[in-house]
Amino acid sequence: MNDLPFSPAADRNKHAILEVMQRVLPAGGRMLEVASGTGQHAAWLGANMPGWEWQPTETNSTALPTIAAWARQASATNVKAPCLLNATDPQWPADDETLASDFAQPFDAVSCSNMLHIAPWNACLGLVAGAARHLKPGGLLMIYGPFLEEGVVTTQSNLNFDASLRSQNPQWGLRQRVAVEAAAQLVGLVPIERIAMPANNLMLVFRRA
């Protein structure tokens, strides 16, 4: 064990996310991870997907050393140094000339886990718009987390979670899957797969047209 910040949820879902990514994605490419959190996903997924160059990001600069530390601990040498990125910024990454050349090259995939429900709706709009800008044609956006769905009975635990989030911040809360898909389609991202995940979560996969 170590004394790094630890997310139990990230630890629980990393196996399921890896399984989906290994099935959906090719053996190698360039991955941009939006909202890397503690960095546990970047470290685990990067270490288990050695053909991928992994670029973790976070909106909070204090999280960057932790993300880098998790990658070092996992010996994930294909995980690059984390950088600042706010999904709502019109340019990724904002005002960072040292990364301009890296982001000028299109990514094969963009991933984002457990962000949409703890961010305002414009973060979702920024995520899909940014992914559309930075994905190569045919590249994939993969969004993991809890969603509400029309015609699908929502579990009481998800309803309670949604109410708890909205009590903390009225701009937070579980997003309607159809709304996320509509926002993605407006910027040229086509929904191609809805994957049921453990603990009432989903993985939504979009392809850049």
| Mean of per-residue pLDDT scores for the chain | 96
pTM assigned to the model? 0.96
Predicted local distance difference test score (pLDDT) of residue 79? 98
3-state secondary structure of 143: strand
2 domain-assigned: no
- Is the peptide bond preceding residue 93 cis, with omega within 30 degrees of 0? yes
Domain that holds residue 37: 8-208
pLDDT digits (tens, 9 = 90+) for 57-90: 999 999 999 999 999 999 999 999 999 999 999 9
**Cα–Cα distance for residue pair 92/33, rounded to 1 Å:** 12
pLDDT digits (tens, 9 = 90+) for 92-129: 987 777 787 889 999 999 999 999 999 999 999 999 99
Report residue 87 as tokens.
């999904």
The domain that contains 182 carries what CATH number? 3.40.50.150
18 domain-assigned: yes
Residues whose CB is less than 8 angstroms from the CB of residue 198 and which lie 6 or more positions away in sequence, other chains included: 12, 13, 16
3-state secondary structure of 161: helix
**Cα–Cα distance for residue pair 201/199, rounded to 1 Å:** 6
70 domain-assigned: yes
The pLDDT of residue 1 is above 50: no
- CA dihedral 135→89→4→82, nearest 10 degrees, is 50
Counted domains in the chain: 1
Percent of the chain whose pLDDT exceeds 90: 92
AA letter at 22: Q
